[in-house]
Amino acid sequence: MKRILVIGSLNLDMVVNVDHTPVVGETILSDRMELIPGGKGANQACAAGRLGGHVTMLGAVGDDMYGEILMKSLGAAGVDMKGIVRKQEEPTGIALITVNRDGDNCIVVVSGANGALSCKDIDNHMDLLKEADIVLFQLEIPLETVCYGAREAKRLGKTVILDPAPVPKEFPKELYSYVDIIKPNETELQMLTGIGDVENHLAKACGYLKGQGVKNILVTLGGKGVYLDSEESGTCRIPAVLVEAVDTTAAGDSFTAALAVMLADGKGLREAAVFANYVSGIVVTRKGAQSSIPTLDEVRRFMGSGI
């Protein structure tokens, strides 16, 4: 199996469950708070590890107990952590998450050490880029670092996958030229393209991204499934997996990781996307970020076949 490198964020998620998402000026009560390892990059690495991928994490944590919790979780998932940098002057990143009774979440991220992951850190771990075949990025670390890492990965001939979240106010257009596969959700696709009502204009929105240089686009649409526009498969719809959602945290991260694992195992993009759809279908039925990610055996049982 090919090697996967995840370059991105590590956060400790502080999760509270609420009846409804509070509006401005409203105070509501929750009966508990949970500390769950998260961060979009770490979630992807954890998911790839649990699904049997050969995965290494390149990111940053502080020299504190939260960093230790994150490292322990990644180690238990089989992730190689030799690319994780300890930032003595910064705390580990934190995400404050509220989850309502419908399973929808709102997230505020305090970047901490993630914001200090630099281009120099990429240079210091260039051996990891050289060893990898597939490199995953998200946007919870500095955009300059993402662009530099993606440019170097592309220079080295790697497959670059981008989960463009959170979408910045000014998206660096140069990044598109380094990306082989981009995986926005419906809201992110609208933010990237400026096209409203993207569900009814998916071809147009994907055409915009292809015009920027991206070859393959996967749009996750929640209960409406997945839309694929690729060089290999053309355009197609992958139906949603029908489950009762409890918490959507890490569903997108797990989808991206599952996609990378299947591609690393030699599967085509459409087949990989179908598998990833089942993985995220399991994730939304469980609470938390990394605590919700299934193993490969669990996914196989869920699918009812032996991929």
Phi, psi of 277 (to 5 degrees): -65, -40
Active site residue 121: no
Catalytic residue among 31, 253, 265, 297: 253
Task: Give the single-character DSSP code of 92.
Answer: P
Tokens of 181: 């596969």
11-to-115, 190, 212, 229, 252 alpha-carbon distances in Å: 11, 26, 31, 32, 16
**Residue-by-residue DSSP string for 193-207:** H--SSGGG-HHHHHH
Angle at 67 between CA 65 and CA 70, to 5 degrees: 115
Strands 226-230 and 234-238: antiparallel
The catalytic residue positions are 253
